[in-house]
Structure formats: C-alpha cells, structure tokens
Amino acid sequence: MASNITNPPSTLGKYCVTLTSSLVLASLVALTVQVFYFSPIDPVILEIPSSASSPSSTKNNQLQNVIKLGEGFLKQPEDVCVDKNGVLYTATRDGWIKRMVRNENWENWKHIDSSSLLGITTSKDGGLIVCDASEGLLKVTEDGFSVILSQVNGSQLMFADDVIEASDGNIYFSVGSNKFGLHDWYLDLLEARPHGQLLKYNPTLNETVIVIDNLTFANGVALSKDEDYVVVCETWKFRCVRHWLKGIDNGKTDIFIENLPGGPDNINLAPDGSFWIALVQLTSKRLGFVHTSIVCKHLLASFPRLINLINSATKSAMVLNVGTEGNIIRKFGDNEGKVISFVTSAVEFEDHLYLGSLNSDFVGKLPLPSAE
C-alpha cells in the first residue's frame, strides 16, 4: 500500500515566508522605481521661516468680522478689483467674470470658457485685463473678450498669474512657473526651484521682455503709487521683491519684504501708498519636515492625492498691510479659518477691505476702522 508523501510543516512555513519576503521586496523595488526614477520633480530643500511654521502666539481673528458678499453665487473668487465707478469685479473658477454694483447686487458679466482665470486688474481705457493660466492675457470689455498676449518669444505663454497696467500702457505680469501648469502647482511647490518670471508687455511695440527671471513661484504684482518700482510676490520664498523703474536705482532688483508668516499670494496698492498682501499658509510646524525631505517630496509628487494631507492653506487666513519701506503696519487674520480661509487677495476701497478666497463662495468685506 503506497504512502502519501507531504511536506513537513516547517518546510512549508519556510516556503511561505520566502515567497512573502520576495513579494514584499519586489513591491518595495517597484515603489522605489516609481517614486524616484519616474518622479516628475527634481526637488531641493525649501527653507521655511520660523514665523510661517509656528502658530500665532496671539489671537488674530479680525477677519471673522467680514461681511459675506455674494454668498453662494461665487465659486472660488481668487482675485478682486474695483473700477473708478466703484464696481467690484471677481473672476471665478467656473469661468465667469462677475461684478457687483454699488447696490450690492451681483451679476454674471462675461463668461470665458476656462477654469483657470487668475489675477485681474482694471484697464486704463476701460474693462479688465485678466490672466488665464491656459490662454495668456485677456482683455474683457462690454463687447466680450479678446486675447492680448498668448506667446512670448515664440513660445506659448503658460501660467500667467497676476497683472497690473502702468499709466504709460505697459503691462507687468507674472508667470507662476514655466515648468508646471496651474493644476500641477503642488509639483512646483515640492520641487521648490525658481521657475517663475516677471515680464513687461509693451502693446505699442508688441514686445515682451523679462524684467526678473528665476523667481520661486512668481505671484502677485503691484506698482508703487508713483510707479517708480514694481513689486512681485515670491510665494515659495515667503518674500516680495522690488524692481526699480525710475531714479538712481533704475533697473536694480532688491528684497522688499522677507520672512513673511505665510506665502505671499496677491498684492495690491492701497490708497495711501502702502500695500495689502494676502498670505497663504503653506505648511505647519507638525508637517514642516515634508519640505526638508527629498524622499518625502518624491513620494508626494508620485502620489498627488497625499498632498491634501499637508496642505494647510484652507486652515486659516491672513492679510498684511505693508508700508513703502517693507514694514508691517497692520495684520488681520482668521487663525482657525472659522469664517474665511485661504484668502488670496485683498483690495482696499472706501475704507473697506475686499477679500478674494479659493476656499469660499463669497467675497469678504471688512470695514477697516472696526478692524483696527
């Protein structure tokens, strides 16, 4: 009678352990190849100022007093501007330029088939100039819209971010990144290399020149009251730089303000010659290690859904009033983002501050006297 031959339990156990170890090793190798070899970024360490990673030691919740304008009617109104007649405009993520007249009634003004409308500004001859991260610079009037600039030196203009028009008709605008597009902004943050620019477009000559190159995510742009210099925000550097257009420093670039307690987004000139800067909370003390670890950067770039785990922009809001010498005059915030968060622009008009946000369905209106 033949006997059944079976593997001893110890031998079978060793075989299972070996197989499992091989599978785990293969998975780790595959993951390593995916993360490092196919990574879309070539990252460097991002230096985070202590003021940006530490929680505020004092309560700063004046922005909780905002009046909500157009609540429910506006989808992520990133930037706002006010024309000479007091009409308030904003560009929303659903492709609309919407406006509010003085009676606080909102209307759908002009629709642009785009989900990438960013900075807007009033134009000297009427209408608006709008940054479309996909199409370039647009002119929007009562008659519709047209493309002002779509190419720079023969290449497609990508990621036009913010814009301002000078009294001589020249248009200064920022390019957030010439490597990554709007919807891949997090890759630019993780890579932390200087891919941004400040440019000037002369419509008379149809000529575009680079004013400042190698900016680390160029964002908001503003001219001084006398137009003797232009300021551009470097979001990932937590600073704003200034380029002189007149005077003995004409052509020179220096630092306007640095070590900000958040990444500067949009900047706007105030009536008294100072500036309003919206700050975005890019990180936190608990998660700051991500920006100092090349491995973590590659991992997040390969699995972008993880970026939401470290994104602190929706957790709070802050705006600064900064003087012409780069000194902070006033600071308003909503430390916990209870009423408004992810504020991306602040415009002063008739003793009120109007706030755009990428995490709200309204424009905030803050009475300035009561906020002090």
* Residue 97 confidence (pLDDT): 97
* Residue 27 confidence (pLDDT): 45
* Residue 171 confidence (pLDDT): 98
* Residue 311 confidence (pLDDT): 76
* Residue 33 confidence (pLDDT): 47
* Residue 16 confidence (pLDDT): 52
| CATH node for 43-371 | 2.120.10.30
Q: Are strands 106-111 and 117-122 parallel, antiparallel or unpaired?
A: unpaired
CA distance 80 to 345: 7
Interior angle at CA 342, CA 176 and CA 261, nearest 5: 80
Tell me if 81 sits within 8 A of 65, measured CB to CB: no
* Residue 1 confidence (pLDDT): 46
Whole-number average pLDDT of the chain: 89
* Residue 55 confidence (pLDDT): 52
* Residue 228 confidence (pLDDT): 97
Domain boundaries, the chain: 43-371
> Which of 20, 28, 70, 9 has the alpha carbon at shortest distance from 355?
70
* Residue 35 confidence (pLDDT): 54
> Which of 251, 117, 248, 230 has the alpha carbon at shortest distance from 170?
230
Amino acid letter, 349: F
CA distance 355 to 232: 19
* Residue 68 confidence (pLDDT): 97
The helix (H) or strand (E) run that includes residue 27 is helix 9-32
What is the chain's pLDDT, residue by residue, as a tens digit (372 residues)?
A: 444 545 555 565 555 555 455 444 544 444 454 455 578 999 999 988 887 765 555 578 999 999 999 999 999 999 999 999 999 999 999 999 999 998 789 999 999 989 999 999 999 999 999 999 999 999 999 999 999 999 998 899 999 999 999 999 999 999 999 999 999 999 999 999 999 999 999 999 999 999 999 999 999 999 999 999 999 999 999 999 999 999 999 999 999 999 999 999 999 999 999 999 999 988 776 667 888 889 888 888 888 777 777 777 888 999 999 999 999 999 999 999 999 999 999 999 999 999 999 999 999 999 997 555
- Contacts of residue 82, defined as CB under 8 A and 6 or more positions apart, other chains included, come to 88, 89, 122, 347, 349, 354
CA dist 232 to 137, 160, 211, 222, Å?
17, 13, 11, 7
pTM of the model: 0.90
* Residue 153 confidence (pLDDT): 86
